[in-house]
Amino acid sequence: MNTKKIANHKKTFARQGKVDRALRELPLHLMLLPSLLLVLIYSYGSMAGVGIAFQNFVPTKGLFDSEWVGMANFKTLFSLPDMWQVISNTLFISISKMIGGVIAPVVFALLLNEFRSSAIRRSLQTMVYLPNFLSWVILAGIFIDLLSPSNGIVNAGLKAFGIEPIFFLGDKKWFPITMIVTDIWKGFGFGSVIYLAALTGIDPSLYESAVIDGANRWKQTLHITLPGITSTIILMTVLSMANVLNGGFDQIYNMYNPSVYATGDILDTMVYRLGIEQVQYSLATAAGLFKSVVSLVFILASYYLAGKFAGYRIF
Amino acid sequence: MNIKASLSRKAFLAINFIVLSILALLCVLPFVNLLAISFSSKEAVTSGKVGFLPIGFTASSYSFIMHSPAFLKSMGVSIARVALGVSVNLLLVILTAYPLSKSTRQFRARTFYSWVYVLTILFSAGLIPSYMVVRYTGLLDSIWALVLPGGLPVFNMLVVMNYFRSLPPELEEAAYIDGAGHISTLVKIFLPVSTPTIATVTLFSFVFHWNSWFDGMIYMRMVDHYPLQTYLRTVVINPEAFFRNTSNLNSDLQILLGLVSARTTNAAQLFLATVPILMVYPFLQKYFTTGLVMGSVKG
Amino acid sequence: MKQKRSSSLKRIVGLSLAFLLAASLAACASNNGTNASSDQSAATDASSSESDTTTSDTSSGQPADNDPYGKYDPPINLSWGINTSAVQQFKDGDTYENNIWTRKYLEDLGINVTVAFTADGSTEAYRNQMNLALASGDLPDVFKTNDYVFIKQAYDAGYLADLSQVYKDYANDFMAMVQPKYPDSYDYATIDGKLIGIPQLQDNSQFGILLWIRDDWLANLGKEAPKTVDELVALARAFTFDDPDGNGVDDTFGLGINKNLVTSNYCTLLGFIGSFGVPGFDHSIYYRNDAGEMTFSYLEPGMKDALAVLQSMYAEGIIDREFSVKDTAMLEQDIGSGKLGMAFGMQWGTWLPWNLAFQNEQAIAHPYPIPTQEGYTARMGIQSNAFGDITMVNANYKNPEALVKLYNVYSDTVNPDMDDETYAIYDADEQYRFSPAVINEPQEPTYGPWLKEAQLKNDASDLPRNLITRFNTIKDFDAGSNTGSDAYGLWGQYSLGGSMPIINDFYVPNNMLIQSVVGGVQPDSLVKNSSVLEKITLQAFTEIIMGADIDNFDKYVQDWLAAGGQQVLEDLDKQYPAE
C-alpha B162/C-alpha A238 separation (Å) is 13
* Residue B262: band (very low, low, confident or very high) from pLDDT cuts 50, 70, 90: low
Q: Indicate yes or no: CB of B126 within 8 angstroms of CB of A288.
A: yes
> Exposed, middle or buried: residue A298 (CB in 10 Å: 0-12, 13-18, 19+)?
buried
Confidence at residue C319, expressed as pLDDT on a 0 to 100 scale: 96
Half-sphere exposure of B299 (CA within 13 A, CB side): 8
DSSP codes, C55-74? SS--SSS--SS--TTPPPSS
Are A30 and A106 members of one domain?
no
Task: Choose between C25 and A233: higher pLDDT.
Answer: A233
- Nearest one of B290, B192, B4 to A207, comparing CA atoms: B290
For residue A16, the enclosing domain spans 2-46
Confidence at residue C404, expressed as pLDDT on a 0 to 100 scale: 97
Are A158 and A255 members of one domain?
yes
Residues forming a β-bridge with C78: C113
% of residues, chain A, pLDDT over 70: 93
Contacts of C29 in chain A (CB under 8 A): 45, 63
Are A24 and A156 members of one domain?
no
* pLDDT reading at A213 higher than 50: yes
Among A69-73, B30-34, C69-73, C136-140, which stretch is predicted with the lowest mean pLDDT?
B30-34
Please tell us whether the domain made up of C207-383+520-575 is placed in CATH 2.40.50.140. Answer: no
User: Could you tell me the residue ranges of all domains in chain B?
Assistant: 18-58, 59-298
Residue C307 in contact with residue A151, Cβ under 8 Å? no
Tell me how many domains chain A contains: 2
C-alpha C454/C-alpha C463 separation (Å) is 7
Q: Indicate yes or no: CB of B162 within 8 angstroms of CB of A292.
A: no
Q: Indicate yes or no: CB of A80 within 8 angstroms of CB of C532.
A: yes
Residue B94 in contact with residue B210, Cβ under 8 Å? no
C-alpha B249/C-alpha C516 separation (Å) is 19
Choosing among A4, A13, A23, A28, which should be mutated to test the B contact, i.e. which has the most B CBs within 10 A?
A28
Confidence at residue A279, expressed as pLDDT on a 0 to 100 scale: 62
Specify the pTM.
Answer: 0.84
Is there a domain that residue A52 lies in?
Answer: no
Choosing among A122, A203, A290, A291, which should be mutated to test the B contact, i.e. which has the most B CBs within 10 A?
A203
Are A24 and A123 members of one domain?
no
Confidence at residue B261, expressed as pLDDT on a 0 to 100 scale: 59
Mean pLDDT by 10 residues, chain C (579 residues): 37 38 39 36 37 40 74 96 78 88 96 94 84 90 91 92 96 95 93 94 92 97 97 98 94 95 93 97 93 95 97 96 90 91 95 89 96 96 92 96 97 91 85 90 89 95 90 95 90 95 96 92 85 93 96 97 96 90
- Nearest one of C140, C132, C156, C165 to C57, comparing CA atoms: C165
Are A29 and A83 members of one domain?
no
Mean per-residue pLDDT, B222-231: 90
Residue C294 — φ and ψ, nearest 5°? -70, 130
Confidence at residue C5, expressed as pLDDT on a 0 to 100 scale: 38
* pLDDT reading at A172 higher than 60: yes
* Amino acid identity, position A15: R
Q: Of A45, A149, A277, which is closest to C530 when you measure between CB atoms?
A: A277
Tell me the fold of B59-298.
MetI-like fold (1.10.3720)
Confidence at residue C240, expressed as pLDDT on a 0 to 100 scale: 97
C-alpha C555/C-alpha C559 separation (Å) is 6
Inter-axis angle of helices B195-211 and B228-235, to 10 degrees?
40
Cα–Cα distance list, C77 to A211, C3, C140, C141 (Å): 81, 66, 11, 9
**What's the DSSP call for residue B194?**
G
Residue C110 — φ and ψ, nearest 5°? 70, 30
User: A touches which chains (3+ CB pairs under 8 A)?
Assistant: B, C
Confidence at residue A108, expressed as pLDDT on a 0 to 100 scale: 96
**Chain segment B215-224, per-residue pLDDT in tens:** 998 999 998 8
Residue C119 in contact with residue C81, Cβ under 8 Å? yes
C-alpha A283/C-alpha B153 separation (Å) is 28
* Residue B5: band (very low, low, confident or very high) from pLDDT cuts 50, 70, 90: low
Are A284 and A148 members of one domain?
yes
C-alpha C38/C-alpha C80 separation (Å) is 22
Confidence at residue A10, expressed as pLDDT on a 0 to 100 scale: 53
Q: Indicate yes or no: CB of C444 within 8 angstroms of CB of B250.
A: yes
Q: How many CB pairs under 8 A join B and C?
A: 156
User: B touches which chains (3+ CB pairs under 8 A)?
Assistant: A, C
* Residue B51: band (very low, low, confident or very high) from pLDDT cuts 50, 70, 90: confident
Are A256 and A121 members of one domain?
yes
Confidence at residue B269, expressed as pLDDT on a 0 to 100 scale: 83
Cα–Cα distance list, C8 to A173, B72, C5 (Å): 50, 54, 5
C-alpha C493/C-alpha C464 separation (Å) is 18
* Amino acid identity, position A112: L
Among B56-65, B231-240, C29-38, which stretch is predicted with the lowest mean pLDDT?
C29-38
Show the 3-state SS of B103-169.
Answer: CCCCCCCHHHHHHHHHHHHHCCCCHHHHHHHHHHCCCCCCHHHHCCCCCCCHHHHHHHHHHHHHCCH
Are A42 and A78 members of one domain?
no
Using DSSP, how many helices (H) and how many strands (E) does chain A show?
17, 2
C-alpha B138/C-alpha B144 separation (Å) is 10
Mark which residues 245-274 of C lie under 8 Å from A by CB. Answer: 259-261
Mean per-residue pLDDT, B71-91: 95
Mean per-residue pLDDT, A179-204: 91
Mean per-residue pLDDT, A267-277: 77
Cα–Cα distance list, C314 to B17, B290, C307, C318, C456 (Å): 46, 61, 10, 6, 43
C399 in contact with B, Cβ within 8 Å: no
Is there a domain that residue A292 lies in?
Answer: yes
C-alpha A207/C-alpha A211 separation (Å) is 6
Confidence at residue C4, expressed as pLDDT on a 0 to 100 scale: 37
Among A212-226, B22-36, C19-33, which stretch is predicted with the lowest mean pLDDT?
C19-33
Whether the link from the prior residue into A81 is cis, omega within 30° of 0, is no
Is there a domain that residue A68 lies in?
Answer: no
* pLDDT reading at B181 higher than 70: yes
CATH number for the segment(s) C76-202+387-434: 3.40.190.10
C204 in contact with B, Cβ within 8 Å: no
Contacts of A44 in chain B (CB under 8 A): 120
Confidence at residue A307, expressed as pLDDT on a 0 to 100 scale: 86
Mean per-residue pLDDT, A135-145: 83
Contacts of C122 in chain B (CB under 8 A): 234, 237, 241-242, 245-246
Task: Locate the chain B residue with the closest alpha carbon to C390.
Answer: B247
DSSP codes, A54-112? GEE--TTTHHHHSEE-TTHHHHHHHTSTTHHHHHHHHHHHHHHHHHHHHHHHHHHHHHH
User: Could you tell me the residue ranges of all domains in chain C?
Assistant: 76-202+387-434, 207-383+520-575
Residue B186 in contact with residue B94, Cβ under 8 Å? yes
Confidence at residue A137, expressed as pLDDT on a 0 to 100 scale: 78
Contacts of C444 in chain B (CB under 8 A): 250
Q: Indicate yes or no: CB of A170 within 8 angstroms of CB of C325.
A: yes
C-alpha B247, offset from chain centre: 37
Confidence at residue A146, expressed as pLDDT on a 0 to 100 scale: 86
Residue B19: Cβ within 10 Å count: 11
Confidence at residue B277, expressed as pLDDT on a 0 to 100 scale: 84
The interface pTM score, or ipTM, of the predicted complex is: 0.85
**Separation of first and last alpha carbons in chain C:** 80
Confidence at residue C10, expressed as pLDDT on a 0 to 100 scale: 39
Q: Indicate yes or no: CB of C147 within 8 angstroms of CB of A278.
A: yes
Contacts of B70 in chain C (CB under 8 A): 86
